[in-house]
Amino acid sequence: MSPTPPTVVLVHGAFADAAGWLGVMDELQRGGIAVLAVANPLRGLTSDAAYLASVVSQIDGPVVLVGHSYGGALITVAGTADHVVGLVYIAAYVLEEGESLSELQDRFPAPPLLRSLERWTYPTEGGKTATEVSIVPAAYPSVFAADVSPSLARVLAASQRPLASAAFTEAASAAAWRTKPCWALVAEADQAINPDVERFGARRAGATTVELEGASHAVTVSRPSAVADLICEAVRATS
């Protein structure tokens, strides 16, 4: 355990941004917990994890990393830093070293989200282009945010940030859960990640796990108190 309370670093996933943590941050801050919500670049597992690691390296004192969705893959890699004292996975991918998102996901039936993606291109260095994906706006409420209000789901769909396609096939270079205590929340009604993927990863990592009945993938928005409660449990255990 750490002699001082850790800073909680929140890492959003694909098709979202840091604003998805607003309710969770409010709960944590009212509890006196230091919080930082990182702007995830969403350009690829290797580069995104390196960016997160650079942010973490500049924080004084212990850190609890919290990853939602694809953000779980990033904390799995960046969480190897010595002053990371705990990992919290929220409706997230929990990868093994050498494993990619696609490899883990392909072990289980595909979620509806995969049938609801549209492709875009963006420029890269040297005048080349790469592919990124986002959720078709009309499908966003059902596959990502079924338990939030329709008006809010439309806002989330319009403000979603795409994920580079390369992120699905890049392998994790480390698995921090092998040496760090971890917690996990399974969203039982998730249509973006098969809940069995979340359960499998949590079980493999030996995570203390809670399941929320009826929770969609947007659980950080729809159930901020429950998410904050699990994070607080991790903070107490590592303080």
Compute φ and ψ for 184, nearest 5 degrees.
Answer: -145, 145
What's the confidence (pLDDT) of residue 1?
A: 52
Q: Identify any residues that bridge with 182 across adjacent strands, giving them in sequence order.
A: 87
What's the confidence (pLDDT) of residue 42?
A: 98
* 106, 168 contact by CB (below 8 A): no
Q: How far is CA 67 from CA 48, 116, 126, 187, in A?
A: 12, 23, 32, 14
What's the confidence (pLDDT) of residue 127?
A: 86
* 90, 67 contact by CB (below 8 A): yes
What's the confidence (pLDDT) of residue 128?
A: 92
Block mean pLDDT (10 aa), the chain, length 239: 83 97 98 97 98 97 98 98 98 98 97 97 92 98 97 97 97 98 98 98 98 98 98 97
